[in-house]
Every structure is written in C-alpha cells, then in structure tokens.
Amino acid sequence: MANGKINVTADNIFPIIKKFLYSDHEIFLRELISNAVDASLKLQTLSRLGESKAELGDLQIEITIDKEAKTLTVSDNGLGMSAEEVEKYINQVAFSGAEEFVKKYEDQSDSAAIIGHFGLGFYSAFMVAKKVEIFTKSHVAEAAAAHWTCEGDPDFTLTETEKENRGTDIVLHIADDSTDFLEEWKIRELLTKYCKFLPIPIKFGTKELTEKEGEGDDAKEIKTTVDDIINNPTPAWTKTPSSLQGEDYKSFYRELYPHTFEEPLFHIHLNVDYPFDLTGILFFPRIKPNMDLQKNKIQLYQNQVFVTDNLEGIVPDFLTLLHGVIDSKDIPLNVSRSYLQSDGAVKKISSHISKKVADKLEELFKKDRKDFESKWDDIKMIIEYGMLSDEKFFERAQKFALYKNVQGEYFTFEEYKAKTKDLHTDKEGKHIMLYTANAENQHSFIQRAEAKGYDVLLLDSPLVSHLLQKLETSNENLSFARVDADHIEKLIAKDEEQPSLLSAEEIETLKPIIEGAVEKSKFTVQMENLNSDETPFIITVPEFMRRMKEMSATGGGMMGMGDLPEMYNLVVNTNSGLVSKIMNESDAEKQKELIAQGTNLALLSQNLLHGEALTNFVQSGFSRLSDN
Ligand code: ADP
Ligand code: MG
C-alpha cells in the first residue's frame, strides 16, 4: 500500500530513544498496554453511545512471548485502526512528541534530566525492539486490516493485510541486548508492577514449542500457551465505600502488599469527583518508634494505570508514610518526577488528601475516643510529623492530636491546658507543662513533680522537641520543661522562698570546692537552697540546650548542635545534711571523695553513669563494703 518516511526531521531519533531512555526502558510495556487499554475503553464508550456497531464481546488484552521467534506481542480487541489512522496516529501525531523531544535535548548531555521527560508512548517500543509490527483492524465494518512495519529507522512500510478479528496486535522483535524481555519471570514482574489493577483483563501466556506434528517439510509446530489473568480489573478503590465491608479493605490491603503480614490500623476511602477526580484507599500502618520508615508504599495510579510508588515531593511528606492507593484522571502520565511535583493538579490533589486524612482522623476520634486512644501510640508519629510539616494539618489536628500523661490518660491540647492551668502557672504567670521522655530513667524527677501535685506528660516520640517548639510558638505564655531540666522548684517557680541553712559566705566558699571536685567540662555547678529532705545532688539537663541538640539530630534546629558534648547542671542542695557535712570536712581528700560519690549517685539515679566511671564507682563501693 505505502512505503514512506516517518514524519520526523531528526534522523537520529531512534538512537536517541535507545540512549536516553535506556535506564527506564521497561516502561515500554506499560505504554503499549495502556494504549491497548485505551483502545478497549474507547470502543466501550463508542458502543455505549451507539457510535460503534461492533459486537463488544469480552474485551481483553493478551501479552504473549514467543521465545523461538524472539517476539513479544501485545494484542487487544479494542477499536483497532484503519490504514489511514495508522498513518495519522502512528506516523505523524505520535511522532511529533518524539520530534519535540529530540529538538529540545539535541545538545544536552544530562541524560538524567531527559529520561522520562517526554513520554514517547508507542515509540518507546524501540527501546527494546529492533523491529516493530502492527497488525490492526478497525471496528468499522468495511475497513481493511493494515500491517505496519518499522525497523528502528525513519522508514516504514504500510500494507493491507488479512486479520480475522477486530483490534490490534503490536509485535515486538526483541533486540539482542534486551532478551530479558523474552523471559517469563521478567514480564510477569513488570505486569505485576504496572498492570495489577488495569480495568481490562490482562492475559499473559508463553508460547513454547512442545512437539512437531507430521513429517519433513509438512511438519507443523504445536505450540502450547499457558495463560493467566494477571490483574484485578475492579480493585476495591473503584467501588463505592458503602458497598465494602471492613474485611474487603483488609483483603485489598493483602492484595496490594502480599508480603506484608501486619494489618493496617484503619483505612480512609477517598472518593471525590469535584473539583477534581480522585479516588483511592489509604491505610494507616502501625508505626513503632525506631522502625524503618518506608516511604514507597503508596502507589499512584492514573485511571488504574500505575504511575509511581515514589511520592516524595508529590504529596506532603508525612502522607508518604501511609500505605495504599491514590488514583486520579488528573495525574499526568509519562512525565518526570519534577514535572509531577510542580503540576498544579497534583498540588491540589495533595492538599486535598491532607484535608481528607485530617477529617477522617477527627471522625474516628469523635466516633470512638477509647478506640482512637488505643491506636494513638501507633499512629502518633505520622500525625506529629504531619503537624510539623503541614501548617493546615497542624490546625486541623488540634481536634484529635493527643497527649498522654504518665498515668496513661489521654488529652487533647486544649483539655490538657485546662487541666493544668492553675497549678502549673509560675509566679511570672507562665504556664509550664512538664514532660518526661522516659518514665523509667527520670523516675526520681517525676516523683518530685508528682509530690507537688503536678501532672507529667509522657512524650517519647522522636519528633517531640520539634513539636514542643511549635506548640510554644503558637501558644503565648506557655512552655514545656522536661522534668529533669532543673529542680522542680525552679521549673515551676512559685513565690515561697526556702530559708537557707548555709550563709551566703559559706555558699561562696563551697562552690569552687565542688567545682574543683567534678569534671569541669561536663558540669555546671548550681547552688540551691532546696528542702532539707531533698537529695543533696541532682543532675539536670537544661531544656534549651538539650532540645536544640535533639532537634539538630532529627533534622532542623540549629546546625551543628548535635555535635555538642553532654553537658549537665549539678544542682547542689545547700540545705541537705550531706552538703553541711562536706562544708565542715577539714580533710580536703575526703571532701573531694564525698563530692565525687554524691555526684556519681546522682548520675546513677538517672541511668547516666556508664563505662569506666560506672565500673570505678561500683568497685569503690564494694571495697568500702569490705573495709567496714
Ligand atoms: P498516546 O497514547 O499518548 O496518544 P501513543 O504514542 O502511545 O500516544 O499512541 C499514539 C496513538 O496511536 C494513540 O493515540 C492511538 O490513536 C494509536 N494507538 C496506539 N496503540 C493503539 C492500539 N493498541 N489500538 C488503537 N490505537 C492505538
Ligand atoms: Mg499511549
């Protein structure tokens, strides 16, 4: 019928396709299959509108590998093409994308920026094939079938052919350097990745030569084909939420992650058609502190075609910790990540998802608070992360974000403010909230706080220091203090002054003696006249420095703070009996030892005595026992 040149000016298009798209060449399969899906869905639509008289039958796409012929074939029984349509859509239109691609990137050597920037659609077949054939027959009754061949250069042939059934077969003669794509396992892997939820059934078969029938030249090869439907054309997220039960969501979760055993805590079914089209199901996984965070669990689909499972920069970061599926017609296919990240529709979708997640959490909280509380410790990391990285989410989270105290009671921030307001306000009118990061290690401090009637929060997630900083900036006259940040009487300073047992001069004399007995670089000595029955020595870690260090370690805060050495305050209770004894001790050596032992005991009570210091301390304790 026709020979001709593909309508492209740059003759070197094919080498460029191979070179620049090389690292991503497996996407050719997604491209061809999504064309087949398009062709099937288009026919469905035409038929529904009465614009096609074709008998729809069972629409289906078939992928076949023929190892012997070294071909991979994608067949559909969709709307097919007439020769004129092949000429138009394959030779001219489809290639204009490729042409644009070449023009734009002719002189650029940065292939990373180029890869995936332009979807080459049909022509991506040439990344893996040395020759591509199209056999196609239009759904329009009188159209003749067409056969198009191209060997990876601008020349093509287009002839009339015989084809029994409506639809299109794309036959790829796999290039010698791409024979992986003739392997069943490889194709199966790609089909599972890209096609698992395509809306048209996908059959996969391998043709193998099993025997010959007949003799000599008349012998016929008998090929057997093993077929499997590999996709679920109607995955849960395409159904209406009211038609699904809890168990359906769980089984969908297992379908998505066949290798995960842990069950999700709850799900959010997204179902929006205005102002944009968005469906999907998100799952909240159980997240434990110190768990490896996985950010590539959510899969992004466009009309059931897999786009990516790397959503970093596409949705708010905290949402990438969720699991599940997001599907939207408005998500562009065939574009690079940077394009996806800056796409306006994608941005809107992303902030909408964040809102939906907040709404759902609020709903769960309101519906069954006890149940929500029981899940809180497993979800708080994601929510706290969200509050820190997404301002709107922070505001919305005020309704459901919880704070747990050491008694195991949960409060919203407003509730907790109201609960502690009166007692926790210091003499300057500042509301101080007390917290511990580790109730075991900070036991003695918690006890001191509770003895005064104070309440102590248990805040142990890794982002706490950032979160507190944020809460402090958005709540005037309110601050957080970890129980070990200072002596409790200092943390929430009230008006009452303790009488001092030692005179000002005595304290002046004692301070340098104590400073001389402890490691100077590690301790700042702080003389305090506390209750006489209070411990003589207390180790505290100043809130500001510690928090800066923590923030620096988890990203943010002041740069370089993470490298600061451990620094403590050594609070010396000048009203205690031991300190009086030290004051009155005339033997300088003995005095030194009393101070060192006292400091070590204080360190030990907080699990801060380690290594050599601990060994020496225990040793000397034992020798004293045997000396007595
Ligand atoms: P796109 O899919 O973005 O339009 P492609 O390069 O993938 O670009 O395909 C170009 C055109 O070729 C399609 O728009 C369609 O008209 C036609 N086409 C490709 N594959 C098929 C097919 N299997 N059946 C019918 N038409 C097809
Ligand atoms: Mg396409």
* CATH numbers and ranges of domains, the chain: 2-212 (3.30.565.10), 236-368 (3.30.230.80), 401-496 (3.40.50.11260), 500-541+563-628 (1.20.120.790)
Place 14 in a pLDDT band, splitting at 50, 70 and 90. Answer: low
Average pLDDT over residues 477-494: 94
Per-residue burial over 484-509, b = 16 or more CB atoms within 10 Å of its CB, e = otherwise: bbbbbbbbbeeeeeeeebbeeebbee
> Which residue CA neighbors atom 13 of ligand 1 most closely?
89
pLDDT for the residue numbered 111: 44
Pairing of strands 298-302, 403-404: unpaired
- Nearest CA among 276, 274, 267 for reference residue 347: 276
Task: Please provide residue 55's backbone torsions phi and psi, each rounded to the nearest 5 degrees.
Answer: -75, 115
Place 343 in a pLDDT band, splitting at 50, 70 and 90. Answer: confident
Residue of 155 and 449 predicted with greater confidence: 449
Place 415 in a pLDDT band, splitting at 50, 70 and 90. Answer: very high
Average pLDDT over residues 491-500: 86
Q: Which atom of ligand 1 is nearest to the CA of 35?
A: 20
Place 364 in a pLDDT band, splitting at 50, 70 and 90. Answer: very high
CA distance 287 to 265: 10
Q: Which atom of ligand 1 is nearest to the CA of 76?
A: 23
pLDDT for the residue numbered 624: 85
Rounded to the nearest integer, the mean pLDDT of the chain is 86
pLDDT for the residue numbered 21: 54
Ligand 1 pocket test, candidate residues 60, 84, 122, most atoms within 8 A of CB: 122
pLDDT for the residue numbered 115: 41
pLDDT tens digits, 229-276: 889 999 999 999 999 999 999 999 999 998 888 899 999 999 887 778
Q: Give the percent of the chain with pLDDT over 90.
A: 57
CA distance 105 to 362: 49
In this predicted structure, the answer to whether residue 9 has a pLDDT above a threshold of 90 is no
Ligand 1 pocket test, candidate residues 31, 89, 134, 303, most atoms within 8 A of CB: 89
Average pLDDT over residues 70-84: 96
- Nearest CA among 301, 297, 309, 238 for reference residue 269: 238
Distance from Cα 38 to the centre of ligand 1, integer Å: 8
Place 310 in a pLDDT band, splitting at 50, 70 and 90. Answer: confident
Q: Which residues line ligand 1 (CB under 6 A)?
A: 31, 35-36, 39, 76, 78-79, 81, 89-90, 94, 121-122, 168
Dihedral of alpha carbons 307, 310, 315, 320, sign: positive
> Which residue CA neighbors atom 14 of ligand 1 most closely?
89
- Nearest CA among 378, 199, 384 for reference residue 279: 199
> Which residue CA neighbors atom 15 of ligand 1 most closely?
89
Place 26 in a pLDDT band, splitting at 50, 70 and 90. Answer: confident
| Strand, helix or coil for residue 201 | coil
Average pLDDT over residues 538-564: 76
Average pLDDT over residues 459-470: 90
CA distance 356 to 389: 16
Distance from Cα 122 to the centre of ligand 1, integer Å: 6
pLDDT for the residue numbered 548: 85
CA distance 514 to 261: 57
Q: Are 404 and 410 in contact (CB under 8 A)?
A: yes
Q: Which atom of ligand 1 is nearest to the CA of 36?
A: 23
| Strand, helix or coil for residue 501 | coil
Place 85 in a pLDDT band, splitting at 50, 70 and 90. Answer: very high
pLDDT for the residue numbered 350: 84
Distance from Cα 89 to the centre of ligand 1, integer Å: 7
CA distance 344 to 435: 42
In this predicted structure, the answer to whether residue 388 has a pLDDT above a threshold of 70 is yes
In this predicted structure, the answer to whether residue 562 has a pLDDT above a threshold of 70 is no
Element (H, E) at 404: strand 403-404
Task: Work out the number of other CB atoms within 10 angstroms of the CB of residue 609.
Answer: 19
Per-residue burial over 108-122, b = 16 or more CB atoms within 10 Å of its CB, e = otherwise: eeeeeebbbbbbbbb
Average pLDDT over residues 514-521: 92
Task: Pick from 281-295, 497-511, 556-570 the range whose average pLDDT is largest.
Answer: 497-511
Rg, the chain, Cα only = 36
pLDDT for the residue numbered 316: 80
Distance from Cα 238 to the centre of ligand 1, integer Å: 25
pLDDT for the residue numbered 559: 52
Distance from Cα 27 to the centre of ligand 1, integer Å: 15
Q: Are 109 and 12 in contact (CB under 8 A)?
A: no
Report which residue type is found at 262. Answer: E
pLDDT for the residue numbered 264: 92
Place 2 in a pLDDT band, splitting at 50, 70 and 90. Answer: low
- Nearest CA among 26, 33, 323 for reference residue 197: 33
pTM across the whole model: 0.77
pLDDT tens digits, 97-117: 556 655 665 555 444 444 444
Q: Are 620 and 600 in contact (CB under 8 A)?
A: no
pLDDT for the residue numbered 495: 83
CA distance 91 to 247: 49
Q: Are 298 and 353 in contact (CB under 8 A)?
A: no
143 secondary structure, DSSP code: P
> Which residue CA neighbors atom 16 of ligand 1 most closely?
89
Task: Pick from 114-118, 287-291, 477-481 the range whose average pLDDT is largest.
Answer: 477-481
Q: In what order do the strands lie in the sheet with 323-327?
A: 266-272, 278-284, 323-327, 298-302, 305-308
Least confident of 319-323, 402-406, 565-569, 590-594: 565-569
In this predicted structure, the answer to whether residue 11 has a pLDDT above a threshold of 60 is no
Task: Please provide residue 325's backbone torsions phi and psi, each rounded to the nearest 5 degrees.
Answer: -135, 140
pLDDT for the residue numbered 309: 85
Tokens matching residue 317: 């970061």
Average pLDDT over residues 356-373: 95
Neighbours of ion ligand 2 (CB under 5 A): 35, 121
Place of tokens 């305090």: 528
Angle separating helix axes 369-389 and 464-474, nearest 10 degrees: 80
In this predicted structure, the answer to whether residue 391 has a pLDDT above a threshold of 50 is yes
Task: Please provide residue 173's backbone torsions phi and psi, each rounded to the nearest 5 degrees.
Answer: -90, 105
- Nearest CA among 233, 305, 227 for reference residue 64: 227
Q: Are 375 and 367 in contact (CB under 8 A)?
A: no
Place 357 in a pLDDT band, splitting at 50, 70 and 90. Answer: very high
